[in-house]
Each structure stands twice: as structure tokens, then as C-alpha cells.
């Protein structure tokens, strides 16, 4: 009986991997246009850009203005804005024009680097956003910009990728059940002693 119980828990735990779409396993918010500004006093970057593409497992929505993404990094922790640097996380807000908002903290360092053509990139992952109640990890956050003035950059394109909420829920349920089974086993062992 015990091996069957463990098998059921493992299926619940790993079912997101089994049912995930191999091409696109979540939500993609693509943005274009807008500006990114470096504040030399606070040593932070601020970005405001227009969301033009939303992709999930079932559909793709494109338009000239589906919402906005706003990002403010934490302070520069190492490096230089002129070549490569690390920023101490920051905040992110995704507001869609049909009444849906995600906001959260970029809890991992964001990497800033210059490519061989002179463009700049800001990226990171492993952070979390939410609607005030639930938190969802950001699996990928990338922005490509070009210098357009002193401490000013034009946003070429960007992407924020979140796993499908159902995938996160199934994974969380599997972990919770596995933890509950472990606690129950410990209580039974202690009760027998």
C-alpha cells in the first residue's frame, strides 16, 4: 500500500512536467518601445514599455497597446552601466488594459551587459510576481535597449515569461501532499514509541 501512495504523490508532484507544452509552457508578455533611464544618483534603472504580445498555452494576442510593463531595478551593486553590471533586484509591474495586474519583487540580481553591436541587455529570472494574493515565479525576464541620450535608452524589445498558473498549482499541491505524508509518518512513528 505504501509504494502505491508514494507513486500517487510523485505523479501529482511531477505531473506539470508531463503535461507541459514543450514549445511554450506558460505566459509570455512581449513588450516594445518605451524608455529606460539610468539615475546616476540612486544608481538604478527605470523602464516603462508597451506590452504588444501576450501568449499562453491556448492563444496569442497581439496589438499596438495591450498594457504596460514598469520595472525599477535596485541599486547598482557592481560593474558599470557602460559595459556590464549587476543590479540588486527591484520591482516589476505588468498592467494589462483589460483589468489584470501583476506586480512583485525582482528578488534576484539583474544582469546588465553590452553586446558586440553596442546594444544593451537587462535580464534575470527566479523572481516572483502576483496579483496581491498569489505569487508566481518569473522564469525569464529580458530587455534589449539602445543608447538614445545621456543616461537614456530606447527599448527595442523585451519579454517576461511566467509558468502556467495551473502548472504552479499542481506542483505546489504535489509538494504539499508529499510534505503531509512525511509529517503523518513521523507522527505515527512517535505514537508507536
Read off the pLDDT of each residue in 38-61 and give the average, rounded to a whole number: 94
Helices (H), the chain: 2-19, 165-192
Q: Is the pLDDT of residue 179 over 60?
A: no
Q: Is the pLDDT of residue 116 over 60?
A: yes
Residue 11: what pLDDT?
42
User: What 3-state DSSP class applies to 132?
Assistant: coil
List beta partners, residue 94: 69, 102
* CA-based end-to-end distance of the chain: 22
Residue 140: what pLDDT?
83
Residue 106: what pLDDT?
78
CB 87 within 8 A of CB 73: yes
pLDDT class for 127, splitting at 50, 70, 90?
low
Residue 151: what pLDDT?
95
pLDDT, tens only, 8-45: 444 444 433 333 344 456 889 999 999 999 999 999 99
Q: Is the pLDDT of residue 99 over 60?
A: yes
Name the pairing type of β-strands 110-114 and 100-106: unpaired
Which range among 11-25, 56-70, 95-109, 159-173 has the greatest average pLDDT? Answer: 56-70
Is pTM beyond 0.75 here?
no
Residue 162: what pLDDT?
83
Those residues with Cβ within 8 angstroms of residue 156's Cβ, 6 or more apart along the chain or in another chain: 32, 119, 144, 145, 146
CB 162 within 8 A of CB 27: yes
Amino acid at each position: 500500500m505504501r509504494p502505491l501512495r508514494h507513486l500517487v504523490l510523485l505523479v501529482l508532484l511531477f505531473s506539470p512536467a508531463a503535461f507541459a507544452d514543450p514549445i511554450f509552457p506558460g505566459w509570455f508578455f512581449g513588450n516594445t518601445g518605451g524608455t529606460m533611464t539610468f539615475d546616476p544618483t540612486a544608481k538604478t534603472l527605470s523602464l516603462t514599455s508597451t506590452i504588444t504580445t501576450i501568449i499562453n498555452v491556448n492563444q496569442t494576442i497581439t496589438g499596438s497597446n495591450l498594457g504596460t510593463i514598469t520595472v525599477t531595478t535596485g541599486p547598482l551593486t557592481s560593474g558599470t552601466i557602460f559595459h556590464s553590471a549587476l543590479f540588486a533586484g527591484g520591482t516589476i509591474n505588468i498592467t494589462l488594459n483589460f483589468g489584470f495586474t501583476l506586480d512583485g519583487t525582482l528578488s534576484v540580481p539583474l544582469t546588465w551587459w553590452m553586446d558586440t553591436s553596442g546594444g544593451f541587455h537587462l535580464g534575470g529570472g527566479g523572481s516572483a510576481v502576483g496579483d496581491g494574493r498569489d505569487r508566481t515565479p518569473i522564469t525569464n525576464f529580458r530587455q534589449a535597449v539602445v543608447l538614445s541620450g545621456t543616461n537614456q535608452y530606447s527599448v527595442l524589445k523585451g519579454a517576461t515569461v511566467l509558468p502556467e498558473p495551473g502548472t504552479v498549482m499542481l506542483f505546489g499541491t504535489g509538494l504539499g501532499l508529499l510534505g503531509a505524508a512525511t509529517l503523518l509518518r513521523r507522527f505515527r512513528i512517535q505514537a508507536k514509541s
